[in-house]
Amino acid sequence: MKHFLYLFALDQKVATIAYQAKQDLWSLEYDANWVTSPNAFPLSPTLPLFSVNNIDTSGTIKRFVENLLPEGRALDISASTYGVTKNNVFALIQQLGVETAGAFRFCIDSPALTAEKQDKSDKPKREITIEELENRLCQRDQIPFVVWDKKVRMSIAGYQDKLTVLLHQDNGISRLFLAAPPLASTHILKPEPMGRNMPHLVANEYYCMTLAKRMGFPVAEVGILRVPRPILLVKRFDRELIETSTGLAVNRLHMVDACQASDLPVSFKYERNLGSNEQVLHIRDGMSFEKLFACVDQTINKASAKLSLLRWALFQFLIGNCDAHGKNFSFFVERDGLVPAPWYDLISVVQYPEISHELAMAFGDVFELDEAKGFAFADFAQRCSIPRTLLHREAVKVANSAIKHAEAVASDDEFAEEEKAFIRKLSAFVIQQSELLKIYTKEALKIDSDFL
Count the Cβ atoms, other than its own, within 10 Å of residue 404. Answer: 13
Q: Where are the beta strands (DSSP E) in 171-246?
A: 173-178, 187-191, 222-226, 230-235, 239-244
The identity of residue 29, as a single letter, is E
The CA-based diameter of the chain, rounded to the nearest angstrom, is 67
Count the Cβ atoms, other than its own, within 10 Å of residue 232. Answer: 22
**Do 262 and 60 form a contact (C-beta atoms < 8 A)?**
no
The identity of residue 152, as a single letter, is V
**Runs of H (alpha helix) within 151-269:** 201-214, 258-261
323 is catalytic: yes
Coil, strand or helix at 367: strand
**Do 427 and 407 form a contact (C-beta atoms < 8 A)?**
yes
Which residue is catalytic, options 257, 323, 345, 379? 323
**Do 127 and 281 form a contact (C-beta atoms < 8 A)?**
no
Q: What are the phi and psi torsion angles at 308 (to 5°)?
A: -65, -45
Q: What are the phi and psi torsion angles at 101 (to 5°)?
A: -65, 145
Half-sphere exposure at residue 451, Cβ-oriented, CA atoms within 13 angstroms = 13
Helix axes 388-410, 201-214, angle to 10 degrees: 120
CA distance readout (Å), 124 to 72, 141, 263, 423: 30, 28, 36, 37
User: Is residue 378 packed enough to be buried (19+ CB in 10 Å), middle (13-18) or exposed (0-12)?
Assistant: buried
Cα of first residue to Cα of last residue in the chain, in angstroms, is: 54
Active site members: 323
